[in-house]
Amino acid sequence: MLDVQLGALDTGLPPGVEEALGLVSAFDETLGTGLGRLSQEGAQAVTGLAAAVAATPLGDRAVEAADKIATGSVAGDHLTMLAGARAALLGAVADALLARLDEALGRTRAQWEEPAAGPAEAPENLLVGCRSWLHEVAITGWRGVGHDLVAASDQAIEAMFGEPALRRAAVLLDGLAAELRASSPVATMEKLPERRWADLWTRALMLTQPGRAGADPGVPVSGRLLILGADVHEHATAVQVQVHGLLEPKDGGTPRLVRTAISATKVDTVVGPAVWGVLQDYPALLGALARHLSLDLTDMPLLASGDLLWDDAKAAVGELAAPFAVARVQLAGALAPAGPPIDRHPVAIAEPVFVEGYKAVKAGEGIEFRLGDQAIAVATDRLPGCGPLTPQLLATSTACIGLLRWDGRWLLQPLAVQSTVKRQQVAVHNGDWALGPTDPKVVKSLARSGDAVAVLRERAGRLLRK
Amino acid sequence: MNADPTAWERRSVTLVVPPVQPRKLAKVPFVELADGRLQGVVSSGSDIGRVYVSFIAAGTHDFNCSTNNNRPCGGLYGSPCKHLNSLVAEAIVQYGAGRVARYLRVDGAETVETSHDLIRRLTGGHEPGSAAVVFSRFLRHLGYLELPASTAPLAEMHWFPSTGAVR
């Protein structure tokens, strides 16, 4: 990424985004005190949100739902329509931001093509329980949430974990429930993470609608996968490593930006470098990450979203392929994928970029990279606990592979940096510890806390199967 | 609306629950701040097949310790037993003393540093209660490690970035 590209990215919000976000914020505020008893201002926020999508296929139904809710007659379907309107608005915001990004970077993006997926296999009874909990929460409002209302979600979430087709919804709801549980009684909180909780609530309702299409089976692809870096996501009971890379198709053609994700459920005490321990089912991918190797893929399913549906048996570890060499030479010309409609949200924007020749400068409590007369804030709060990247390494870095993100402003999330340590140039990547930490100090502290998974499996063996 | 789009309330990604610190799990396999209590499961020192369920209520500081079959702990004589002491000590490793003390609403929570400090400031007494809820939460906790890993992308995890707060 060059300074002119950064300048083109950061020329104020695209038209309409500020207004759309204003409507969303007003609606999010109403979820604080609940949709059951709306103030006049709250009623306006609800009808305002619906009015914004009036010209879309949601239009009439959203407007009707908002009118009903504004006059105090709340039904589950009305809440779902409002959630749909909110999701549509944020989807439009995400589209505008991504279009700006593509234009600034000169990135070519594929058109979205709806995959040929069968019907969903999710049992409707599990979805009903979950939706009714989400409805109750919205009517009560975050400020009314206490231990009992959180505990009421336990059964539905536990049942969803037993159903692979509902893993996404289960992981999302478990993350939200954990935040509400830790914050209960929410009435005592000074301020609420309004946007965040409304986001999670909205997405949970979207994922638990009946009649959703089934999972995309993918199209088999073969070729060489060159890894750019690993983005790590984690909450108390789940971890996901999403690997970004370039796929060189075997039959030639433009290299494509692809991702692949491996995830597992875990417990809160499995944290830091220990999280790699619950992902050991994928030795080829983890080995390639840790050793900076390419992977030769044969008939690996590629989803319409640009995600490889990883199968370790369809990958062979190849030769050394340093991510910085890949990023420097091939990233700019790669073809980017389009996101699935349901994923359209600013939070999903995670575009790999390569930056060098910047100056890392302290800015407030964080760091920013200055490129010419431009600057971008570095998301130092997104350095994973399971990897070797530290704010100190960023501060002395000279080149960076990162993900462009947007959360109220553009941010750069580092996946790897080249830095100078004791006058030696080093390259440090998020995935370097995929086969175990290489820093003796970290190895020692990991040994001190022992193998959490082994201890808990022993306990489970004695207590769970009786 | 001219609200600052970067304000905390307007951010999609923000840390609501800080990650916990890793700790040795052999003695106290499960600790949580939930349901208005510090609660957990402590392995028996003498019988490998037995566990104790211990909890301290926030606010009242009433406490209990029993086996998972609701047999009262023999070490409870109106003051916290060794299991409750272990529970508090491990909770402090996992969450930090301040977070545990604040959750329990202990007087002068900010000055609590050790489990001794904390137990000394508890104002409640022994209040028998059922172990069932805590024990079933523990079993559910163990269940997470039994589920198969997955390679279907979980797009919602973008709301939950890993943070380095652990190191």
pLDDT tens digits, A237-267:
999 999 999 999 999 999 999 999 999 999 9
Please give the average per-residue pLDDT across B118-135, as a whole number. 92
Count CB atoms within 10 A of the CB of residue A273. Answer: 24
Residue B166's pLDDT is 40
Q: Which of A311, A385, A457 sits opposite B164 (nearest CB)?
A: A385
Q: Is the dihedral of CA A192, A195, A197, A198 positive or negative?
A: positive
Give tens-digit pLDDT for A347-377.
999 999 999 999 999 998 889 999 999 999 9
Residues on chain B touching A213 (C-beta within 8 angstroms): none
In chain B, residues 90-149 whose CB comes closer than 8 Å to chain A: 94, 138-149
What pLDDT shows up at residue B2?
46
Task: State how far the Cα of A194 lies from the Cα of B56, in Å rounded to an integer.
Answer: 31
pLDDT at A466 over 80: no
Q: How many residues does chain B have?
A: 167
CB atoms near residue A127 (< 10 Å): 21
Nearest CA in chain A to B161: A233
Q: Which residues of B touch A264 (CB under 8 A)?
A: 147, 149-150
Contact call for A171 and B162, based on CB within 8 A: no
Q: Residue B1 pLDDT more than 50? A: no
Q: Nearest C-alpha of chain B: how many angstroms from A141?
A: 16
Cα–Cα separations (whole angstroms), residue B7 to A86, A125, A145, A403: 19, 39, 23, 22
Report yes or no: B16 at the A interface, CB cutoff 8 Å.
Answer: yes
Cα dist from B126 to A443, B34, B74, B114, B129, whole Å: 42, 19, 12, 22, 9
Mean pLDDT of chain B: 91
Q: What percent of chain A has pLDDT over 90?
A: 86
Within 8 A by CB and 6+ apart from B117, the residues are B97, B111
Instruction: Name the residue facing A193 among B9, B144, B162 (closest C-beta).
Output: B9
> How distant is the alpha carbon of residue A312 from its chain centre?
23
Q: Where are the domains of chain B?
A: 23-139
pLDDT digits (tens, 9 = 90+) for A125-165: 899 999 999 999 999 999 999 999 999 999 999 999 999 99
- Inform me whether the C-beta atom of residue B47 falls under 8 Å from chain A C-beta atoms: no
Selected residue of B20, B160, B166 to mutate for chain A interface (largest A Cβ count, 10 A): B160
Beta A108-109 vs A335-336: how paired, if at all?
parallel
* Domain regions of chain A by residue span: 1-106
Shortest CA gap B27–chain A (Å): 10
Tell me how far apart the alpha carbons of residues A273 and A162 are, in angstroms, rounded to a whole number: 27
In B, minimum Cα distance to A441 occurs at: B167
Structure tokens given for A204: 């949970």
- Is A385 in contact with B165 (Cβ distance < 8 A)? yes
In this predicted complex, what is the ipTM?
0.97
Sheet with strand B30-34: strands edge to edge: B30-34, B37-43, B51-57, B63-67
Res. B167: pLDDT tops 50: no
A-B C-beta contacts closer than 8 Å: 256
Mean pLDDT of chain A: 94
Q: Other C-beta atoms within 10 Å of B36: how many?
A: 19
How confident is residue A341, by pLDDT bands cut at 50, 70 and 90?
A: very high
H/E element, B30? strand B30-34
pLDDT band with cut points at 50, 70 and 90 for residue A227 = very high
Q: Is A90 exposed, middle or buried (0-12, 13-18, 19+ CB in 10 A)?
A: buried
Strand pairing category for A293-302 and B37-43: unpaired
Q: Hey, is A76 helix, strand or coil?
A: helix
Q: Which helix (H) or strand (E) holds B140?
A: helix B132-143
Distances (CA, A) of A178 to A195, B18, B68, B74: 17, 11, 24, 33
CA–CA separation, A281 vs A285, rounded Å?
Answer: 9
Nearest to B141 by CA among A366, A265, A325: A265
Closest CA of chain A from B163, distance in Å: 5
Confidence grade of residue A89 (pLDDT, cut at 50, 70, 90) = very high
Q: Model confidence at A464, in pLDDT bands (50, 70, 90)?
A: confident
Q: Tell which wins on pLDDT, B5 or B58.
A: B58
